[in-house]
């Protein structure tokens, strides 16, 4: 974020009287571009830029719909929200998706301009109709995820930050036929309560699903049954598939992470 130092001081075209000098507002670098069928947008600081600036940074990744899923034509939209710890101040965001990316990035840019926090984003009263958005807009969902992380309700980790923990894929077998992370074991969410005895309570566990919601539910279930060290993977498989090594398959033998 760059603060412009230029000022303006001109005479009123109507009265001729001098106007007060006013500093130009901060420049957030808000931008959007169309890449084939995708809209890609950003505002404020990226995670790496915020870290270089010495800020205590955390991120939330979510996938939402461009509008309500039951209304025809909805397309997925991925949001990365960058915020400061422990204040919750919104620092930046990047969004990739179809329709509605421009609206969401402008909402977040406005929040940054006024020094808004993730709590402010979560409480915004945004326009809703099924053809335009869901009752909980993707901006709300991103803010909710950030709130859960900041308040310690959930521990979340980016796919790139995983280590030698046990990875548990809670998607259905059909979903992960298209690939899963190396070394992961598949226990669908609907079977987790009956099969949690297969998991080592003394080992760190990272759960993931397609986008993050089922992973969050699985994390809460395991924590409520005495698993002390459970994390949810930010962005789920939809993010991990683009940043992690070549995946294995649910149907094949489980590989061991080296």
- Catalytic residue numbers, as ranges: 209
58 vs 200: CA distance, rounded Å: 29
SS3 call for 214: helix
From residue 41, alpha-carbon distances to 31, 54, 156, 174 in Å are 6, 24, 24, 32
DSSP 116-148: -BHHHHHT------TTT--SS-HHHHHHHHHHH
16 vs 9: CA distance, rounded Å: 12
C-alpha atoms less than 13 angstroms from C-alpha of 149 in its C-beta half-sphere:
29
Which contacts of 44-52 are long-range, i.e. CB under 8 A and separated by 24 or more positions?
44/1, 44/82, 44/90, 44/91, 44/92, 44/93, 44/108, 44/109, 44/112, 45/1, 45/82, 45/91, 45/92, 46/82, 46/92, 46/94, 47/80, 47/82, 47/92, 49/92, 50/82, 50/84, 50/91, 50/92
102 Cβ neighbours under 8 A, 6+ residues apart: 32, 39, 41
């Amino acid at each position: 974020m760059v603060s412009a130092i230029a000022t303006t001081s001109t005479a009123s075209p109507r009265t001729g009287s001098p106007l007060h000098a006013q500093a130009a507002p901060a420049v957030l670098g808000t931008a959007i571009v169309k890449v084939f069928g995708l809209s890609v947008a950003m505002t404020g600081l990226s995670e790496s830029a915020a870290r270089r600036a010495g800020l205590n940074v955390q991120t939330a990744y979510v996938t939402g719909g461009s509008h309500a899923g039951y209304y025809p034509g909805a397309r997925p939209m991925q949001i990365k929200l960058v915020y400061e710890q422990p204040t919750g101040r919104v620092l930046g965001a990047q969004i990739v998706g179809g329709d509605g990316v421009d609206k969401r990035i402008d909402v977040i840019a406005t929040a940054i301009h006024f020094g808004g926090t993730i709590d402010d984003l979560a409480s915004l009263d945004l326009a809703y109709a099924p053809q335009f958005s869901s009752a909980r807009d993707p901006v709300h969902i991103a803010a909710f995820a950030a709130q859960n992380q900041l308040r310690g309700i959930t521990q979340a980790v980016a796919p790139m930050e995983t280590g030698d923990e046990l990875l548990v894929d809670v998607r259905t077998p059909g979903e992960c036929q298209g690939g899963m992370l190396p070394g992961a074991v598949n226990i669908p969410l609907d079977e987790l309560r009956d099969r949690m005895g297969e998991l080592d309570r003394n080992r760190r566990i990272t759960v993931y699903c397609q986008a993050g919601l089922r992973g969050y539910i699985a994390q809460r279930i395991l924590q409520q049954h005495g698993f002390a060290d459970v994390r949810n993977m930010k962005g789920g498989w939809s993010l991990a598939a683009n940043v992690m090594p070549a995946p294995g398959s649910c149907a094949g033998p489980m590989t061991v992470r080296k």
